[in-house]
Amino acid sequence: MSHPVLELDKITFYYGDRLVLDQVSLSVCSGDFLGIVGPNGSGKSTLLKIIAGLLKPAAGSVRIFGAARENSRRQTRIGYVAQNVTSFNHAFPATVGETVIAGLTGSLGLLRRPGQREKRLVEETLAGVGLADLRDRLVGELSGGQQQRVFIARALVAEPALLLLDEPTIGVDVDAKEKFYGLLAALRREHDLTLLMVSHDLGVVARLAQSIACLNSKLYFHGPPAEFWTEDVLCQAYGAAVRILHHGDH
Amino acid sequence: MTGLFDFWQYAFMQRAYLAGLVVAVLCPTIGIYLVLRRLSLIGEMFAHVSLAGVALGIFAGVYPLATALGISLGAAAALESLRRTYRVFTDLAIAIIISAGLSLAVVLIGLSRAFNIDLHAYLFGSVIAISARDLWLVAAVGLLVLGFALLFRKELFFIAFDEEAARSSGVAVDLVNLLFMAATALTISVSMRVVGILLVSSLITVPVAAALQVGRSFRSTALLAYVFAVLSVLCGLFVSYHANLAPGGSIVLTAVALFVLAAGYRKIFSRGGRLFAKGHLS
Ligand SMILES: Nc1ncnc2c1ncn2[C@@H]1O[C@H](COP(=O)(O)OP(=O)(O)OP(=O)(O)O)[C@@H](O)[C@H]1O
Ligand SMILES: [Mg+2]
């Protein structure tokens, strides 16, 4: 029986005095693939940052692997790839290999150096995301899609049990996108990986994810994709414009 | 018999070279992370604050390097508290501390009614002024800072590249940042003994900037920065002795010349600029 990897209880968050997340409660089981959707500014990235431990909610609690967020020593089992990850300083002189091995910093802990095992892990991870040939290239000199894969590899190399991806396929071409989704499927099959992915591509999320969370400050919907396509969910969360789009689609 | 390398018989020149070598290793060690995090101005900040420390030392008749060290560590704490508690933007916080340091220095220099030889040596660097006590302090600080940078190498790299990703993957970012600030304060206050307050932050940034022109990985960039800094100090001290110049100027001029060479090399041998590129849109 699968147990909850992540439990959010009435998460409330403010930026200044703007309410961004309003009592969001959500639970994700081990091995699940949860797609998070919602209009721009609906708090999706904020929610991922709270789960990743980068922001503290004003109220509510986050439990990861059954332990409270604050005293969770298992931070290293979370992989997080930010939405704006490719807008780093492109003059930074780091090779792909150097970037990916940095992903092991937290799990190695202070004072321990990466050794043979870690180097092998990096090779395997790079091969997994199709970047083995680019190991010695500078990250700043790669294409946007390649950079995206480098940063996903940096998160994957620490073998996280929970992977948080914030719009990972922005700027990735159609072909690479399909490959990327294939990679996610393989990772989920091979490792016991729980996946949270924010995306604006409702079609892809509905096709791939086991469940969907629809957010707009409040949580409007959380359930299997089949139930998601009912009009009132979409209308409530996105407003009326979506109804037309949705009908146009079919 | 006289030769170009006769200076080595003088104890003061030996001290200058030893202290210079330590400083040449320390400055890029700290500098590479400062430059890559776009915090080069912090070098300037500690230099100005150190001037206040030196002036205080001279005014109160205390060992000026000790007061400079103390006041720099205070400035590091002030910067953190301005940023965190008062939520001042980093560059503004730096500007405020620079102003505080410089104005305090001006007042103290005025009070001691002397723009004396000591102060001159601290401002521009000096080859004859480095005492055995200075050398010991430089060596001790050197060991401390290098030890820190070696032990925390992977954390410093990750934080410089992507602080948010480092934090989310369980790196003790706040602790490392705090130690790094302290290491920066220490490095600058001892380095100014050799290079001088006015130019110490140049030795932090210029060799790194030169290395960034030609480095093809973080590792090679760091190694090159060491090479450039050591070359600058060796050449600079040599010229300084023979032409009777303040070492700060000749050291940093050498570093700038190396930067120009590196930038030229890059222009000839590779297309496109990296350091000064706007960053291609992805
Ligand atoms: N650093 C910040 N300071 C103040 N307000 C912020 C900050 N970051 C986000 N916000 C606000 O919080 C709200 C939620 O932002 P968030 O980035 O979580 O939205 P999102 O759902 O990820 O949107 P998108 O689809 O555009 O990525 C927005 O209204 C935004 O303006
Ligand atoms: Mg977002």
Instruction: List helix spans (H) across chain A.
Output: 44-51, 96-102, 105-108, 116-128, 144-156, 174-190, 202-208, 225-228, 231-238, 241-249
What ipTM was estimated for this complex?
Answer: 0.88
Mean pLDDT of chain B: 89
B87 burial (CB, 10 Å; 0-12 / 13-18 / 19+) is exposed
Domain assignment present for residue B6? The answer is no
pTM for this entry: 0.89
- Closest-CA residue, ligand 1 atom 24, reads A40
Domain assignment present for residue B24? The answer is yes
CATH number of the domain that B28 lies in? 1.10.3470.10
Q: Ligand 2 mean position to B136 CA, how many Å?
A: 53
- Cβ of A38 less than 6 Å from ligand 1: yes
| Total number of domains in chain A | 1
Cα torsion at B61, B46, B30, B253 (round to 10°)?
-90
CATH number of the domain that A164 lies in? 3.40.50.300
Domain assignment present for residue A243? The answer is no
Flag if A90 and B279 touch (Cβ within 8 Å): yes
- Residues from A in contact with B at Cβ < 8 Å: 52-54, 75-76, 78-82, 85-86, 88-95, 98-99, 102-103, 105-108, 110-111, 113-114, 136, 138, 140-141, 143-145, 147, 151, 154-155, 158, 171
- Cβ of A42 less than 6 Å from ligand 1: yes
Flag if B157 and A107 touch (Cβ within 8 Å): no
Q: Which pLDDT belongs to residue B56?
A: 92
Classify A12 in phi/psi space as left (phi over 0), alpha (psi -120 to 50) or beta.
beta
The pairing of strands A33-37 and A194-198 is: parallel
Is residue B277 predicted with pLDDT exceeding 50?
no
Q: How far is Cα A127 from Cα B130, in angstroms, rounded to an integer?
A: 55
Here the tokens at position B48 are 């100005």
Domain assignment present for residue A248? The answer is no
**Other Cβ atoms closer than 10 A to A97:** 20
Domain assignment present for residue B1? The answer is no
Which one has a higher pLDDT value, B119 or B49? B49
Q: How far is Cα A234 from Cα A242, in angstroms, rounded to an integer?
A: 7
B167 burial (CB, 10 Å; 0-12 / 13-18 / 19+) is buried
Domain assignment present for residue A211? The answer is yes
**What is the domain extent for residue B235?**
11-281
Reported for A86-90, long-range contacts at CB under 8 A and 24+ positions apart, including other chains, are A86/A144, A86/A147, A86/A148, A86/A151, A86/A170, A86/A171, A86/B282, A88/A139, A88/A140, A88/B161, A88/B162, A89/A140, A89/B36, A89/B38, A89/B279, A90/A140, A90/A141, A90/B274, A90/B277, A90/B279, A90/B280
Which one has a higher pLDDT value, B258 or B170? B258
Is residue B1 predicted with pLDDT exceeding 70?
no
**What is the domain extent for residue A168?**
4-238
Confidence of residue A74 (pLDDT cuts 50, 70, 90): low
> Mean pLDDT across the stretch A148-169?
91
**Residue recorded with tokens 């990296």:** B274
Which one has a higher pLDDT value, A35 or A66? A35
Is residue B263 predicted with pLDDT exceeding 90?
yes
Domain assignment present for residue A247? The answer is no
Confidence of residue A237 (pLDDT cuts 50, 70, 90): low
- Cβ of A20 less than 6 Å from ligand 1: yes
Per-residue model confidence as pLDDT tens digits over A81-136: 999 888 888 889 999 999 999 999 988 888 888 889 999 999 999 988 888 999 99
B212 touches chain A (CB under 8 A): yes
Domain assignment present for residue A68? The answer is yes
Q: Which pLDDT belongs to residue A248?
A: 41
Q: Which pLDDT belongs to residue A121?
A: 92
User: Nearest ligand to the C-alpha of residue A44?
Assistant: 1
Per-residue model confidence as pLDDT tens digits over A32-47: 999 999 999 999 999 9
User: Which one of A69, A70, A108, A110 would you mutate to disrupt binding with B, by most B Cβ within 10 Å of its Cβ?
Assistant: A110
Here the tokens at position B243 are 């032409």
Per-residue model confidence as pLDDT tens digits over A45-54: 999 999 999 9
Give every CB contact of residue B3 below 8 A, 6+ residues apart in sequence.
Answer: none
| Total number of domains in chain B | 1
Q: Ligand 1 mean position to A167 CA, how many Å?
A: 14
Provide the percentage of residues in chain A whose pLDDT is more than 70: 88
Cα torsion at B4, B10, B12, B18 (round to 10°)?
60
Domain assignment present for residue A169? The answer is yes
- Cβ of A46 less than 6 Å from ligand 1: yes
> Mean pLDDT across the stretch A149-157?
92
- Closest-CA residue, ligand 1 atom 3, reads A15
Closest B-chain CA to A152: B165
